[in-house]
Homo-oligomer: A and B are copies of this chain.
């Protein structure tokens, strides 16, 4: 089973990295870009567990290891079954 987890800063948290990317894009003439937020993506390959077990451990892992719940939020989806 393959799972994709997206981790990004909460909307209320400033994103200086995204801001820098936005400024760079404006400098290059891409003025239709109004906002950029940058985050992390993790693709996990899991073996030997059911969908139900995955639904239990993925939020656990995200909360404990992948994201900092104080300033970040996460979402996840199964991108490959099996």
Measured CB to CB, the residues of A under 8 A from B are 6, 8, 18, 21, 24-25, 28, 30, 32-49, 53, 57, 61, 64-66
List 6 A-B residue pairs with CB atoms under 8 Å apart, sorted by A's residue number. Answer: A8-B43, A25-B65, A28-B64, A37-B42, A39-B41, A41-B41
Known pairs A32-B46, A34-B45; list 13 more (Cβ under 8 Å): A6-B41, A18-B42, A21-B42, A24-B65, A32-B47, A32-B57, A34-B46, A36-B43, A36-B44, A37-B42, A37-B43, A38-B42, A38-B43
Residues of chain B within 8 A (CB-CB) of A38 are 40-43
**What CA separation (Å) do A46 and B45 show in the bound complex?**
33
